[in-house]
Amino acid sequence: MLWENRIDSYVSKTGFPRSLFASEDGRVVGTWIMGNDYRVKSEYYGGYPAGYLKRMKALFPDKKRVLHLFSGKVDIGVFPGDTVDINPALKPTYVDDAQKLERVPLAKYDLVLADPPYSIEDCEHYGTSMVKRNTVMRALQRLPEGAHVVWLDQVLPMYRKDRFALEATIGMWKSTNHRFRGISIFRRADQQ
């Protein structure tokens, strides 16, 4: 599916203004202002703001084999998929460390929605240690070609340019006095 079709789907399915654009360097860029829709329905610390998954579902209507990585209490009613978290109490599909993903059959997924902890301070809320982002991205190289990774963070993770193409970046404002976040969207693509 072409990005222009993804953007059309986003506009028609959400009813939100067209805030994503193809730039001259071939990437898609944009900004989302979550407005009134900023609360976290599950009330889980660091959970996706309401509306985030609805927007993602509208951008990726073609994706049926979805993996929520660092899943927390993600609402799979909005965007169905399997889940991975290191905390077994959250009852994910796979209890695994995102830096290894040894129990996860990555070859069967065509979209990964990743929401890692952003800092050591955030990790204290989850009782986990800080993840090495580049190690997670390395594990995700086992995804099939054409799969997308949507990474929500305050940092652009280090990735291999011969394994992933950075296709889109979206800045996300939640509401006043909340941290700014960036969404990086990669496509798994081997380059010679």
Task: Please give the residue ranges that form the binding site for ligand SAM (CB under 6 A).
Answer: 42, 44, 46-48, 70-74, 85-87, 97-99, 115, 117, 126, 128, 131
Q: Least Å distance between CB 45 and ligand SAM?
A: 7
Closest CB to ligand SAM among 63 and 181?
A: 181
Closest CB to ligand SAM among 7 and 128?
A: 128
Q: Is 125 exposed, middle or buried (0-12, 13-18, 19+ CB in 10 A)?
A: exposed
CA pair distance 45, 118, nearest whole angstrom: 12
Q: Least Å distance between CB 125 and ligand SAM?
A: 8
Closest CB to ligand SAM among 79 and 164?
A: 79
Query: Which amino acid type is present at position 140?
Result: L
Closest CB to ligand SAM among 7 and 72?
A: 72
Name the closest residue to ligand SAM (Cβ): 72
User: DSSP string covering 7-27, please?
Assistant: HHHHHHHH-----EEE-TTS-
Closest CB to ligand SAM among 21 and 45?
A: 45
Q: Of 47, 21, 64, 60, whose CA–CA distance to 152 is shortest? A: 47
CA pair distance 124, 52, nearest whole angstrom: 24
Residue 157 DSSP one-character state: P
Q: Least Å distance between CB 138 and ligand SAM?
A: 13
Residue pair 158/138 in contact (Cβ under 8 Å)? The answer is no
Q: Least Å distance between CB 37 and ligand SAM?
A: 14
Residue pair 110/146 in contact (Cβ under 8 Å)? The answer is yes
Q: Least Å distance between CB 21 and ligand SAM?
A: 26
